[in-house]
């Protein structure tokens, strides 16, 4: 029985690619050094899958930044501002598109469906001249073949590529991106021809947009594209992969009717209703790539249940036509459980990272073909039973408190307008107040101190002294820059979710459970295995110290319940909203303790609220209801004079703006600059927003330093659609990933721009 992996993590078990990328960007190593690290990682991944017995091993899922950007390079769809004049696209142009450079900004970055992975959004229009400009897919296939591994090259499908794009600046927003399909297909044909010539027998097109709510015109684009590709694909086995949700009925009919396609991949973990579609009819003689092993979570597969599902499907599609697969790319899970030497033994037995999921896929494929590893299945059954019965999972008091939440909407007693008046009397802020989002640069020295404290190489007294000094430095810098509402810079935190999870019950942590978020940025999601509660205050000590260093308002910095949920590996034995309510109660306790300690501005980040939005519209209202409710729970008990901020970043917000308003925060700071100020269009369309709002005035994910004039221009655009008395001036996101040499001039220019506009507003009165 055949086995298949949709895709695999790129960073390496110890983040080898991350460090190689950053060394290259800092000009400490050469392009050849970076390529060598990448080649070694690819070779080890292919060998690992081959040794595990996987038949359909993917290639071209490795990327130096993002697979959609790789496709943009393949198609030669480089925006003119990067000065590309043709030929094979190299690192200079590639990384300029991803990160910007000294003279031009980066392309927009946004969330990949409902994950915490980000992709670089293609900028397209009728004038784009597509050409075959990156041979990466073919080169990696040949590279694997030279190592003795026959792979399945993976390409982002042509229709999904266009649907995930946006009209370039200057192109009408109504421009039909799908009208470009016949312009990009010739490049796809060239790639396919080269892959065939190199000996490929299978090819995988990822078309994940098929799980979205597509109209008839969009579905017709798939029929058209694959009909046009049919003759080029002759002689190849083609599998089209979908993932992340159920596939709608109309999309299922379209997909299973496509010409020249040998098999279809479905996410049967998040797409359980797809099973009913398959049972209702599956094309005769086609392959079913059954995604029964979860590519987005770290829980060990229930092998007995999966085998039962596979046997039922085998009866429908035929014994030789079922391929056991992951539900999606393993990019979204941690790399290898073997590297976790400090995890609790019982909890570890409940888990499977990417390396273990490969073994699970192969074990299921063998069992389906009559070669069941009884010992492996038996150990799995014991672990499943242990998790269900373990007393560490359940806290009855927490469950009772969370269940009681449903009886109230948890709204603050006073409307936001009255609250803002009360807060202004207390805070006395200028018009267009300036602030930052939370974190400041994490220096090597700071990381060393945290690392040594965790390893018990420095005492608690030494650690506290070092963190206090860092906070004082950050406070003094902000005062020198004349920022109005300060932050403490979060020097005690490596990660905004991990920091809180370490202090909440029901969480477990890894040492090397890193997952790529974008580029070289990796996160280490906590594991929520049980009921959540807060044993003691988490941030009050540091926030109080920071406030003691200044007379200006100091923000207490918290991560909101929805973001903690969406940026964790969440238990799958109860509904997600129940876990979220438990986290909300824990954060509520912290908010109220911060207020008692004299902190008058408290930011509760919900950076990932939009990220968790279900992909299908029919599921979205329910999610938004409990997600927004969870946020309100955290701060419903504070006084009117306590100002509640929240922050969101790098997603499309316009379609949920009314839910954002319903959160009832006093101030929201939100990403805006990298997405061509799309956020402002919702206010141009007449949406009234009465709370404070700070659309980001510059992109912190690029090393580029914006000028005062550029920032002032952005603020003026905001003032065209927002009242000056509610507008805040701030960067797009936290400054952790930047250097002080970038942060100081950028913030200085930001404050100067705000002061310039204040003067202009005052003189206009």
User: Environment class of residue 382 by beta-carbon count within 10 Å: exposed (0-12), middle (13-18) or buried (19+)?
Assistant: exposed
- Per the annotation, does 616 bind a ligand? no
Q: Map tokens 């922050």 to a residue.
A: 647
Q: Which H helix or E strand runs over 505?
A: strand 505-508
- Per the annotation, does 439 bind a ligand? yes
Alpha helices in 4-121 (DSSP H): 16-25, 31-52, 67-74, 91-99
- Per the annotation, does 552 bind a ligand? no
Q: What is the 3-state secondary structure (H, E, C) of 535-556?
A: CCCCCHHHHHHHHHCCCCCEEE
Short-list 639, 728, 657, CA closest to 419: 639
759 near 460, Cβ under 8 Å? no
- Separation between Cα atoms, residue 409 and residue 232, nearest integer Å: 58
User: Environment class of residue 730 by beta-carbon count within 10 Å: exposed (0-12), middle (13-18) or buried (19+)?
Assistant: buried
User: For residue 61, what are its two tokens?
Assistant: 């899922």
444 near 453, Cβ under 8 Å? no
Number of C-beta neighbours around residue 63 at 10 A: 20
User: For residue 125, what are its two tokens?
Assistant: 């229009």
505 near 395, Cβ under 8 Å? yes
Query: φ and ψ at 694, to 5 degrees?
Result: -125, 85
Q: Which H helix or E strand runs over 110?
A: strand 109-111
Q: What is the DSSP string of 661-724?
A: HHT--SEEEE--TTTTTHHHHHHHTT----SEEEE-SS-TTSS----HHHHHHHHHHHHTTS-T
- Separation between Cα atoms, residue 97 and residue 30, nearest integer Å: 19
CA distances from 507 to 395, 565, 571 (A): 13, 11, 10
- Per the annotation, does 522 bind a ligand? yes
The C-alpha angle with vertex 705 and arms to 125 and 35, in degrees rounded to 5, equals 70
- Per the annotation, does 742 bind a ligand? no
Q: Which H helix or E strand runs over 1?
A: none
- Per the annotation, does 605 bind a ligand? yes
Q: What pairs with residue 755 in β-bridges?
A: none
733 near 674, Cβ under 8 Å? no
- Separation between Cα atoms, residue 18 and residue 14, nearest integer Å: 9
Q: Map tokens 């509402």 to a residue.
A: 485
- Per the annotation, does 495 bind a ligand? no
- Separation between Cα atoms, residue 715 and residue 680, nearest integer Å: 11
Q: Which H helix or E strand runs over 499?
A: helix 496-501
Q: Which of 56, 118, 332, 701 is catalytic?
A: 701
> Active site includes 645?
no
- Separation between Cα atoms, residue 266 and residue 275, nearest integer Å: 9
Short-list 114, 30, 98, 111, CA closest to 63: 98
Q: Are strands 667-670 and 151-156 parallel, antiparallel or unpaired?
A: unpaired
- Per the annotation, does 636 bind a ligand? no
- Separation between Cα atoms, residue 241 and residue 208, nearest integer Å: 7
- Separation between Cα atoms, residue 310 and residue 322, nearest integer Å: 8
- Per the annotation, does 299 bind a ligand? no
- Per the annotation, does 370 bind a ligand? no
Query: φ and ψ at 353, to 5 degrees?
Result: -90, -170
- Per the annotation, does 438 bind a ligand? yes
- Per the annotation, does 490 bind a ligand? yes
- Per the annotation, does 350 bind a ligand? no
Give the single-character DSSP code of 332.
G
| Furthest-apart CA atoms within the chain: distance in Å | 83
Give the single-character DSSP code of 731.
-
User: For residue 757, what are its two tokens?
Assistant: 């506009």
User: For residue 424, what are its two tokens?
Assistant: 């202004």
The C-alpha angle with vertex 148 and arms to 67 and 197, in degrees rounded to 5, equals 65
- Per the annotation, does 344 bind a ligand? no
- Per the annotation, does 373 bind a ligand? no
Q: What pairs with residue 263 in β-bridges?
A: 239, 287
Q: Map tokens 């969370």 to a residue.
A: 402
- Per the annotation, does 590 bind a ligand? no
- Residue ranges at the known binding site: 18, 116, 437-439, 490, 521-522, 567, 605, 647, 649, 658, 662, 671, 733
**Residues that are catalytic:** 701
Binding-site members for Zn(2+) are: 647, 649, 658, 662, 671, 733
Residues making up the annotated binding site for 5-methyltetrahydropteroyltri-L-glutamate are 18, 116, 521-522, 567
* Binding-site annotation: residue ranges for L-methionine: 437-439, 490, 605
């Amino acid at each position: 029985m055949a086995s298949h992996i949709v895709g695999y993590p790129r960073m390496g078990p110890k983040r080898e690619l991350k460090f190689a990328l950053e060394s290259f960007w800092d000009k400490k190593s050469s392009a050849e050094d970076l390529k060598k690290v990448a080649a070694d990682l690819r070779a080890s991944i292919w060998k690992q899958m081959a040794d595990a017995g996987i038949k359909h091993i993917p290639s071209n899922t490795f990327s130096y930044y993002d697979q959609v950007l790789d496709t943009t390079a393949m198609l030669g769809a480089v925006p003119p501002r990067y000065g590309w004049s043709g030929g094979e696209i190299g690192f200079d142009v590639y990384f300029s598109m991803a990160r910007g450079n000294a003279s031009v900004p980066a392309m927009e970055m946004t969330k990949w469906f409902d994950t915490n992975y980000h992709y670089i959004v293609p900028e397209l229009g009728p004038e784009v001249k597509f050409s075959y400009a990156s041979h990466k897919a073919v080169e990696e296939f040949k590279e694997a073949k030279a190592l003795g591994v026959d792979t399945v090259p993976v390409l982002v499908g042509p229709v999904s590529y266009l649907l995930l794009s946006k009209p370039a600046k200057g192109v009408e927003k109504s421009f039909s991106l799908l009208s470009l399909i016949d312009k990009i297909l010739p490049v796809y044909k060239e790639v396919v021809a080269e892959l065939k010539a190199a000996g490929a027998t299978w090819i995988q097109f990822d078309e994940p947009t098929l799980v979205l709510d597509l109209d008839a015109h969009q579905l017709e684009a798939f029929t058209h594209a694959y009909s046009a590709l049919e003759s080029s694909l002759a002689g190849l086995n083609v599998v089209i992969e979908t993932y992340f949700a159920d596939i709608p009925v109309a999309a299922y009919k379209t997909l299973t009717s496509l010409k020249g396609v040998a098999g279809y991949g479905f996410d049967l973990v998040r797409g359980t209703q797809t099973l009913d579609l398959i049972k209702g009819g599956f094309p005769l003689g086609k392959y079913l790539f059954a995604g029964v092993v979860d590519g987005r979570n770290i829980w060990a597969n229930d092998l007995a249940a999966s085998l039962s599902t596979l046997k039922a499907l085998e009866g429908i599609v035929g014994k030789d036509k079922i391929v056991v697969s992951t539900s999606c790319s393993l990019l979204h899970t941690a790399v290898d459980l073997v590297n976790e030497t400090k995890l609790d033994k019982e909890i570890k037995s409940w888990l499977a990272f990417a390396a273990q999921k490969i073994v699970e896929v192969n074990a299921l494929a063998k069992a389906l073909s009559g070669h069941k590893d009884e010992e492996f299945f038996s150990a799995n059954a014991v672990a499943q039973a242990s998790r269900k019965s373990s007393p560490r999972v359940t806290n009855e008091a927490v469950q009772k408190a969370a269940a009681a939440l449903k009886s109230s909407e948890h709204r603050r007693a006073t409307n936001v307008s009255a609250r803002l008046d009360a807060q202004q009397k207390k805070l006395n802020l200028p018009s267009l107040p300036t602030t930052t989002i939370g974190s400041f640069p994490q220096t090597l020295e700071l990381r060393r101190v945290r690392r040594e404290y965790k390893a018990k190489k420095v005492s608690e007294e030494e650690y506290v002294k070092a963190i206090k000094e860092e906070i004082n430095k950050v406070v003094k810098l902000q005062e020198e820059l004349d920022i109005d509402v300060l932050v403490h810079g979060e020097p005690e935190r490596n990660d905004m979710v991990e920091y809180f999870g370490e202090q909440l019950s029901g969480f477990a942590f890894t040492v090397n459970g890193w997952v790529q978020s974008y580029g070289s940025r990796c996160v280490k999601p906590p594991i929520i295995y049980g009921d959540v509660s807060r044993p003691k205050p988490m941030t009050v000590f540091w926030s109080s110290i920071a406030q003691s260093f200044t007379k200006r308002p100091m923000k207490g910095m918290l991560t909101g319940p929805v973001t903690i949920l969406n940026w964790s590996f969440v238990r799958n034995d109860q509904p997600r909203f129940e876990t979220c309510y438990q986290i909300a109660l824990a954060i509520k306790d912290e908010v109220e303790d911060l207020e008692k300690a004299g902190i008058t501005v408290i930011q509760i980040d919900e950076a990932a609220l939009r990220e968790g939005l279900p992909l299908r519209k029919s599921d979205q209202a329910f999610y938004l209801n409990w997600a927004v409710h969870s946020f309100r729970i955290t701060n419903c008990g504070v006084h009117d004079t306590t100002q509640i901020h929240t922050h969101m970043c790098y997603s499309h917000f316009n379609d949920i703006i009314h839910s954002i308003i319903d959160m009832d925060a006093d101030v929201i700071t939100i990403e805006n600059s990298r997405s061509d100020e799309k956020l402002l269009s919702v206010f141009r369309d007449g949406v009234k927003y009465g709370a404070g709002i700070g659309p980001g005035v510059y992109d912190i994910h690029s090393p580029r330093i914006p000028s005062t004039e550029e920032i002032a221009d952005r603020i003026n655009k905001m003032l065209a659609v927002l009242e000056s008395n509610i507008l805040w001036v701030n960067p797009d996101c936290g400054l952790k990933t930047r250097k002080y040499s970038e942060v100081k001039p950028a913030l200085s220019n930001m404050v100067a721009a705000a002061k310039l506009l204040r003067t202009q507003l005052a003189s206009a009165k």
